[in-house]
Amino acid sequence: MRLRKIARAEGFLKEHKEIVVTDLTDFNIDNCFNNNKEIHLEIGCGKGQFSINMAKNYQDINFIALEKYDSVLLRAVEKYLNLEEKPTNLLFILSDVLDFMPKINDHKINTIYLNFSDPWPKNPQAKRRLTNINFLKQYQRILVKDGLIIQKTDNLDLFNYSLIQYKLAGFKILEEIRDLHNSNIFNITTEFEDKWSKLGPIYYAKVKV
């Protein structure tokens, strides 16, 4: 599906510098939240439902919601701004993950969430998958000791591929669930998940550095 470009997105996001980072030039993760709480990162936050609700439910954790498309992040920020009680432990960042990773110092992130990442189904596209071993090596650098990756997907091929990549990269698989919504795991959903979980199972993996 082709992404619809929203002309006002760029300007809107820049108007809300208190909660949105649109320029990584002077970005310093140590100054993001001005506290020493854990930092959790969602890569590809989409319209923001997951990160916003995580921040509301876990106020003792800081959350970064990363999204590369301004027209998509616009919707996430609007959703946040419409809340009566806005969590203060959430920061939105407009950036491609490849540009963002080099800005993070070693061992700063406690948990990475990969929610319904693009499966890039063709073999030549494998290197673009967010669970490709080249990405996993970057995650290892920024994750703390015993840091976690938590993945959800509706794509079985991507899930099976990811499990192999985790093992190749030296991650320990803690949980491997092939029907999340029929498990007893507490689960905060994404917009995509709410729609597509009715059509088939959601696959879930939790792995540790």
- Whole domain around residue 56: which residue ranges? 36-208
Q: Which residues are catalytically annotated? A: 118
Q: Does residue 6 sit within a domain?
A: no
Please give the pLDDT value at position 145: 96
Please give the pLDDT value at position 2: 57
Whether 69 has a pLDDT exceeding 60, the answer reads: yes
Please calculate the CA angle 119-158-148 and round it to the nearest 5 degrees: 100
Whether 35 has a pLDDT exceeding 60, the answer reads: yes
Average pLDDT value over all residues in the chain: 96
Indicate the pTM of the whole model: 0.96
Using one digit for the tens of pLDDT, what is the confidence trace for 129-167?
999 999 999 999 999 999 999 999 999 999 999 999 999
Q: Does residue 12 sit within a domain?
A: no
CATH number at residue 180: 3.40.50.150
Residue 193, Cβ density class (10 Å: 0-12 exposed, 13-18 middle, ≥19 buried): buried
Q: How many domains does the chain have?
A: 1
Dihedral sign, CA of 23, 106, 37, 208?
positive
Please give the pLDDT value at position 55: 98
